[in-house]
Structure 1
Amino acid sequence: MALALSGCLVRTAADVVTAPVRVASGAVDMATTSQSEADEKRGRELRKREEELGKLERRYANEMRDCSDGDRRACDKARKTYGEMQVLLPSIPVEPEPR
């Protein structure tokens, strides 16, 4: 019985000694973002900004149409929407033209 108990204690002691290393390495893995994960995140953020720009462009076109029909409130809205587009544009990279 004493022999079985000592084996159990040795294993438990080894688990206690290696536990901080396992916890620390797990924390590092969770805190570290791989390059592919970072690329995916940037891609999602870029697509989100492009979608938002598309919505703003459509809204701006509608407001400009109403503005040209004489709706002064639409003109004010179009100016505001244009400003939002100008703020968003620098964060979207320009694609090179095909050759």
Structure 2
Amino acid sequence: MPRPHCSAALVLAALPALSGCLAKTVIDVATAPVRVAGKAVDLATTSQSEADEKRGREIRKREERLGKLQRAHDRHMRDCENGDDDACDRAREEYSEMQDLMPGVPYEPR
């Protein structure tokens, strides 16, 4: 029984003698595993531009959340100063969440 890599080499060597359609079929069959493996690698890896886009989306989401928290915090601080204890508690919670988000938002000089 011939070894598998030898039979593949014999088939490829015999390609010029085969008819056009059969030769194309043999080439397609022979190269299919390489194409499938290449496609799997493409699907499994993330390009640098895709990674950059994903990071940008995540930063924008954090910035949006930070803006909403800041507006709510300001509103609750005004209510807190007017004696609303619940507003004081909410302002503290919002401030804590803002502090957690700050390291994930890049600094932009003005």
TM range, smaller chain: 0.7 to 0.9
Q: Count matched residues.
A: 92
- Rg (Cα) greater in structure: 2
Q: Which residue, out of 27, 36, 43, partners 2:56? A: 43
* 1:21 lines up with 2:34 in the alignment: yes
The structure whose RCO (Cα within 8 Å, separation 6+) is larger is 1
Taking only the aligned residue pairs, the percentage that are identical comes to 65
Task: Structure 2: give runs of 5+ residues left out of the alignment.
Answer: 1-17
Q: Which residue, out of 63, 69, 74, partners 2:76? A: 63
In the alignment, the residues of structure 2 paired with residue 43 and residue 79 of structure 1 have an alpha-carbon distance, to the nearest angstrom, of: 29
Task: Structure 1: give runs of 5+ residues left out of the alignment.
Answer: 1-5
The TM-score with structure 1 as length reference comes to: 0.82
Q: CA RMSD in A?
A: 1.6
In the alignment, the residues of structure 2 paired with residue 76 and residue 96 of structure 1 have an alpha-carbon distance, to the nearest angstrom, of: 32
In the alignment, the residues of structure 1 paired with residue 53 and residue 105 of structure 2 have an alpha-carbon distance, to the nearest angstrom, of: 16
In the alignment, the residues of structure 1 paired with residue 89 and residue 104 of structure 2 have an alpha-carbon distance, to the nearest angstrom, of: 25
